[in-house]
Amino acid sequence: MEHFKSMREEYGINPKMEHCACLLDLLGKAGKKAYEFAKGKPDIQVWGALLGACRIHGDIVMAELVFAEVILKVEMHNVTICVLMANIYVFVGRWEGMQACSVM
């Protein structure tokens, strides 16, 4: 996080959504809560990175929160996100959730 902050504070570089998505991916892979960081960044890449981290950790609770509370509001019919969510359901053995995603 210090390097991310230094981009803005020391070097005057405003992080782009790609930077935020990469940081979220790193935080998620490290098992840290990245949801708070992602708040206020209504970009599908950012939320997709967080959802991908949820898949890696099998964190279905966070995945459902991200999917329901954010992704459906940002981009309701994003096929890639729906497939990722279906894959998370399969990963944790919740086949009924996967079937619900395929209906979307």
Helices and strands, counts by H and E, the chain? 8, 0
**Total of domains in the chain:** 1
The residues, ordered by sequence, that sit 6+ positions from 69 with a Cβ below 8 Å of its Cβ are none
Domain containing 24 equals 2-103
Residue 39 main-chain phi, psi, to 5 deg: -55, 140
Q: State how far the Cα of 67 lies from the Cα of 87, in Å rounded to an integer.
A: 13
Q: State how far the Cα of 24 lies from the Cα of 53, in Å rounded to an integer.
A: 8
pLDDT in tens, 35-64: 777 777 767 888 888 888 888 888 898 899
pLDDT in tens, 53-99: 888 888 898 899 888 867 667 766 778 888 888 889 988 888 888 77
Residue 67's Cα: distance from chain center in Å?
8
